Structure 1
Amino acid sequence: MSTCGVFEKNDMKLKLTIFFLTFSSILFSQELKTIQAVQRTDSEFFDYEDYEAPDKPIGELIFLKGCSWYCGGSVKSINASSELKENNEINYSPKNAHDFNKNTAWIEGKPDFGVGEFIEYCFDFNEIKGYKGGLGINRILLANGYKKNKQIWENNSRIKQLKVYLNDKPYAILDLLDSFEIQTIDIGEIKFPANRETKLKFEITQVYEGKKHKDTAISLLMFDGIGVH
């Protein structure tokens, strides 16, 4: 009986095994890019409603007062994997992370620190008449934790690291600062094409633990970008 056919089959299996192992090695060696947040100051992004005099502000602090990327850009919808239950008529909806208000926050709803929970933004500009593309984002503006006041911020947990998915595909790792003031992250240019939704998902992978609560919060996760001015 000839063993030639058996050797050929074994040789083919060996080649396929080597190919698979080589491909897997290359695939897993391609690590996601890690982007470090940059410390900024609140005064760069917040301003009072008005002033009686140069040194006498009136009203509440407003985030991104005046013209910004939001003069033309917008987010269609925001969802999250979970949210903390409403308490004393205060809600912790994912929309709070994009409401220009530092006194509200999205807080994940799991009993632990929320590792694995996510918030997802959907962009869609089909309702803009004649939109042919051109709008996009290149920077995240972030208020980490529950920024209502310093004590609340310290008592609740903050995000240490986020994994970003672009249209459900891993895009980058964001290393965040444990800072009460605003931080920014340059994430590269992400353009929003016509006739298609674009999704950005931010998954919690590490946290800074709060003094009293495991609940992990984020007050603002907003954007700067291109195609507006």
Structure 2
Amino acid sequence: MKIKLTIFFLTFSSLLFSQELKMIQAVQGKDSDFFDYEDYEAPDKPIGELIFLKGCSWYCGGSVKSINASSELKENNGINYSAKNAHDFDKNTAWVEGKTDYGIGEFIEYCFDFSEIKGYKGGLGINRILLANGYKKNKLTWDNNSRIKQLKVYLNGKPYAILNLLDSFEIQTIDIGEIKFPVNKETKLKFEITQVYEGKKYKDTAISLLMFDGIGVH
């Protein structure tokens, strides 16, 4: 009887805890709102590569100190799949988890630290994620590799929200609520893969860009 009561209590507590997490739905965006060419010879003649967040953005004052992941796919033919690829402003690179299955339970973690910024008195923070789901190098690569369907977010080690992502080649955005970065403290955001959209050819799950918009810069 005691065993049954314990199991019931643990199950009930788990369900109650999961219900307390915010469920946040991603919103479809357009690549044209976030990418622009390096330059133009004329209004209709672009030059160079597409640049993500060209011009002023949250990154004029905000930054990420470090990024790490629970696993990374092994480098192949000179191409690496490092966690840093998810935050390099380049749609042609990607973090790809390194497990043999679809990477459920694998994570990428961002560390924000403004303690070394002279005169920082607080006020910087994030409120939106800008996300390129999957391996966005081209449509064939995107189709062949798996994409993320759902992420569980942890704020400083504590569960914060569940993000439901779109199976979309173009940029999507997620309003995650205001997260401010305090003085003389690190803030860590961990994104754990809980569900995936299966790729046509590979189990490898990828994300090309997971970047931020926020407050306190302008």
Whether TM exceeds 0.5 here: the answer is yes
Question: Of residues 113, 118, 134 in structure 2, which corresponds to 1:124?
Answer: 113
**RMSD across aligned positions (CA):** 1.6
Give deviations 1:62-98, integer Å, cap 9, x for gaps. Answer: 0000000000000000000000000000000000000
1:83 is aligned to: 72
Q: How far does residue 179 in structure 1 lie from its aligned partner after superposition?
A: 0.2
Q: Distance in 2 between matches of 1:207 and 1:25?
A: 22
Which string of whole-angstrom CA distances, capped at 9 and with x for unpartnered residues, describes residues 170-202 of structure 1?
000000000000000000000000010000000
Larger Rg: 1
**Equivalent residue letter for 1:198:** T
Are 1:209 and 2:185 counterparts? no
Query: Structure 1 residues 219 and 25 mapped into 2: Cα distance closer, same or farther (>3 Å)?
Result: closer
What SS class does the counterpart of residue 62 from structure 1 fall into?
strand
Aligned to 1:170: 159
Equivalence for 1:137: 126
Aligned to 2:215: 226
Name 1:179's counterpart in structure 2. 168
* Residues in 1 aligned to 2:34 and 2:55: alpha-carbon distance in whole angstroms: 10
- In the alignment, is residue 159 of structure 1 matched against residue 148 of structure 2? yes
Deviation at 1:26, TM superposition (A): 9.1
Give CA-to-partner distance per residue, 1:83-119, whole Å, 9 cap, x none: 0000000000000000000000000000000000000
Q: Are the structure 2 counterparts of residues 196 and 208 from structure 1 closer, same or farther at C-alpha, using a change threshold of 3 Å?
A: same
**Structure 1 residue 148: Cα displacement:** 0.1
Aligned residue for 1:224, secondary structure, equals strand
Residue 65 in structure 1 maps to residue 54 in structure 2: yes
TM-score norm. by structure 1 comes to: 0.89
- Secondary structure, aligned partner of 1:51: strand
| CA deviation after TM superposition for structure 1 residue 127, in Å | 1.2
* Equivalent position of 1:50 in the other structure: 39
State the TM-score, normalized to the length of structure 2: 0.93
1:227 is displaced (CA, Å) by 0.2
Q: 1:51 to 1:207 in 2, by over 3 A?
A: same
Distance, in Å, in 2 between the alignment partners of 1:26 and 1:81 is 26
Partner AA of 2:210 in structure 1: L
Distance 1:228 1:28 in 2: 35
Question: Deviation at 1:31?
Answer: 2.7
Shift of 1:130: 1.3
1:143 counterpart SS class: strand
- How many equivalent pairs are there? 210
Secondary structure of the 2:38 match is: strand
